């Protein structure tokens, strides 16, 4: 008599994805929120908007960002 065959384990695509991200999810969840916060993101978005408004002319946006940088440096001192 032959042994009964074990059923072949089938995994769905969602189970494979869950397994693939389980380790990175644990790392992500255990880190402090500040590790994923980009403090420059808001300023970067404003600079891109300024460039779009002014047809890509960096000189038009430079004065504003120098002013903002100066104020932020004064507040941090």
Are the CB atoms for 61 and 47 separated by under 8 Å? yes
Residues of the chain with pLDDT under 50: none
pLDDT score at 49:
92
Q: What is the rounded CA–CA span in Å between residue 35 and residue 5? A: 50
pLDDT score at 9:
53
71 domain residue, yes or no = yes
Distance of CA 16 to the CA centre of its chain: 23
The residue range of the domain holding 65 is: 37-77
28 domain residue, yes or no = no
4 domain residue, yes or no = no
pLDDT score at 34:
62
pLDDT score at 16:
62
pTM score, two decimals?
Answer: 0.40
Task: List the end-to-end C-alpha distance of the chain, in Å, as a whole number.
Answer: 84
Number of domains, the chain: 1
CA distances from 53 to 37, 70, 71 (A): 27, 23, 23
């Amino acid at each position: 008599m032959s042994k009964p065959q074990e059923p072949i384990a089938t995994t769905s695509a969602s189970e494979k994805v869950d397994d693939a991200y389980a380790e990175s999810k644990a790392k992500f969840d255990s880190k402090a929120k500040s590790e994923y916060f980009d403090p420059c993101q808001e300023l970067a978005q404003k600079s891109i908007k300024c460039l779009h408004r002014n047809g890509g002319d960096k000189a038009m946006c430079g004065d504003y960002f120098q002013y903002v940088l100066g104020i932020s440096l004064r507040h941090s001192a």
